[in-house]
């Protein structure tokens, strides 16, 4: 059985979590317990603020706010898609690019298209582990067997003639 002290301990150990997220945790826990108490016919909710009486409340609430989230407008999305299509046409006609430069261009365009199409934020992209898509094939980080972009490129098909697999699915 959960006691107010358990919830207080949980909330006081959220050192790396910003204030609004902590407040949402507290609200979600309180709502969940409210429903559980209703179902069990009990009236004591261990997650209500008076029951928790967080001794670190002042410092807890002084945590920095979350960073503002910005979204692209519809016009910005359409302009981005137009720019990607335009760049794709240029790449298809360009004959003066090295294979590596062409591959990077396709890669960068694909990243932008995936982020645009899925809502993946830059901060989330930066937090992805290189082995995230297939953890079972990856060894511990820092070992020689860990995933590397070069081996991934080989698996995905830098072809013998130097061409790169089609990275234009977004077009």
Reported pTM: 0.40
Tokens for 114, please give them: 């995936």
Q: What is the pLDDT of residues 16-41, one digit of tens each?
A: 777 777 778 888 888 888 877 877 88
pLDDT at 68 over 60: no
Is the Cβ–Cβ distance between 158 and 164 less than 8 Å?
yes
Per-residue confidence (pLDDT) for residue 117, from 0 to 100: 86
How distant, in Å, are the alpha carbons of 8, 29, 42, 89, 123 from that of 49?
A: 10, 11, 17, 59, 32
């Amino acid at each position: 059985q959960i006691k107010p002290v358990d919830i207080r301990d949980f909330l006081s150990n959220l050192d790396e979590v910003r204030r609004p997220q902590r407040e949402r945790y507290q609200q979600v826990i309180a709502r969940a317990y409210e429903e559980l108490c209703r179902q069990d016919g009990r009236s004591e909710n261990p997650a209500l603020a008076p029951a928790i009486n967080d001794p670190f409340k002042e410092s807890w609430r002084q945590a920095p706010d979350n960073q503002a989230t910005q979204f692209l407008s519809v016009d910005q999305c359409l302009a981005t898609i137009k720019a990607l299509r335009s760049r794709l046409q240029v790449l298809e006609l360009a004959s003066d690019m090295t294979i590596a430069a062409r591959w990077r261009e396709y890669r960068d365009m694909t990243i932008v298209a995936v982020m645009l199409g899925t809502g993946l934020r830059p901060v989330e992209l930066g937090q992805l582990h290189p082995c995230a898509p297939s953890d079972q094939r990856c060894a511990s980080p820092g070992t020689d067997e860990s995933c590397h972009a070069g081996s991934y490129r080989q698996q995905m098909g830098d072809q013998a003639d130097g061409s790169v697999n089609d990275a234009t699915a977004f077009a």
